[in-house]
């Protein structure tokens, strides 16, 4: 075999490996080294159930973070942790997690769907996710000063927990609670992150609960934008129902652009 042909084969193999890696550019890591706090003696079995609206996860004992990377050369350095909802009993991992992360990655943002445990541990899991993303920012291709957090329903409650944290290491640079509520005792700090808030007017589970979030941010003189769609119900996520809520993520993208988060390093 000639030296030229040998080098060509080596280069072809390298390109094939690179293409394979980026065909599925995801990596999943546990949030904790060893058992998660509170799950040391857990005996339940984690399950994943396929539904028409995507997979539903139950009995989480190993919380994880998955990286959805943009294609090479398209990343803007922004990372967003995505917390699916499910009433702290299940997780709508696709409709409110992986599909959101895929949209983000297609628009230059690294998405980090986080699989959290039950209500008692969820806030700690969310805080841990923020610390992990910031501490591995260079390795994962994101800027530690451009990390957001978004969540849906119960995940929106988690979002507001980290967004109102007095700990700067945990508090995101921007946040997006989607059909959530502000729990009693939580309020925005003087340096609370900008918010994008979205919900449907016909939400029967948390009716009208997004408006107080917006009002709290405005009262604290912090940036906030509220979208209340006429129809969509609770839990619309990435599902298309033929309503204006179908376009919430494009509205979120426009909000990110307006605030400068979508600019690449060369554009900043």
Least confident of 91-100, 117-126, 208-217, 233-242: 117-126
What is the pTM assigned to this prediction?
0.89
Query: What's 99's domain CATH number?
Result: 3.40.50.1820
Inform me whether the pLDDT recorded for 11 exceeds 80: no
Model confidence pLDDT, tens digit, residues 243-260: 999 999 999 999 999 999
Q: Where are the alpha helices (DSSP H) in 60-182?
A: 99-106, 119-135, 137-140, 154-163
Inform me whether the pLDDT recorded for 142 exceeds 90: yes
Residue 79 lies in a domain: yes
Domain with 217, as residue range(s), is 45-258
In whole angstroms, what is the distance from residue 2 CA to residue 22 CA? 31
Residue 93 lies in a domain: yes
Residue 73 lies in a domain: yes
Contact between 134 and 147 under an 8 Å Cβ cutoff? The reply is yes
Residue 1 lies in a domain: no
Residue 200 lies in a domain: yes
Domain count, the chain: 1
Model confidence pLDDT, tens digit, residues 62-75: 999 999 999 999 99
Residue 39 lies in a domain: no
In whole angstroms, what is the distance from residue 23 CA to residue 14 CA? 14
Residues 6+ apart with CB under 8 A from 12: none
Residue 14 lies in a domain: no
Residue 198 lies in a domain: yes
Residue 17: pLDDT band (50, 70, 90) is very low
**CA quadruple 238, 184, 187, 230: dihedral sign:** positive
Inform me whether the pLDDT recorded for 9 exceeds 50: no
Identify the pLDDT of residue 24: 52
């Amino acid at each position: 075999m000639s030296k030229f042909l040998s080098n060509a084969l080596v280069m072809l193999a390298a390109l094939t490996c690179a293409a394979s890696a980026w065909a599925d550019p995801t990596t999943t890591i546990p949030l904790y080294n060893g058992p998660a706090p509170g799950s040391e003696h857990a005996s339940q079995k984690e399950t994943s159930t396929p539904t028409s609206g995507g997979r539903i996860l139950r009995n989480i004992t190993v919380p994880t973070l998955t990286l959805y990377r943009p294609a090479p050369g398209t990343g803007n350095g922004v990372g967003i942790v995505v917390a699916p909802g499910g009433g702290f009993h299940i997780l709508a991992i696709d409709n409110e997690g992986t599909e959101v992360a895929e949209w983000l990655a297609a628009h230059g943002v690294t998405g980090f769907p986080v699989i959290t445990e039950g209500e008692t541990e969820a806030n700690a899991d969310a805080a841990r996710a923020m610390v992990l993303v910031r501490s591995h920012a260079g390795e994962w291709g994101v800027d530690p000063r451009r990390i957001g957090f978004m969540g849906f329903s119960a995940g929106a409650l988690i979002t507001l927990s980290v967004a109102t944290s007095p700990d700067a290491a945990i508090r995101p640079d921007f946040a997006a609670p989607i059909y959530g509520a502000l729990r009693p005792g939580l309020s925005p700090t003087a340096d609370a992150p900008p918010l994008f808030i979205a919900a449907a007017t016909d939400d029967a589970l948390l009716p009208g609960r997004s408006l107080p979030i917006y009002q709290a941010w405005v009262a604290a003189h912090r940036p906030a934008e509220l979208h209340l769609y006429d129809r969509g119900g609770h839990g619309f996520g990435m599902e298309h129902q033929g309503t204006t809520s179908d376009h919430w993520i494009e509205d979120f993208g426009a909000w990110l652009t307006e605030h400068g988060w979508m600019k690449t390093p060369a554009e900043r």
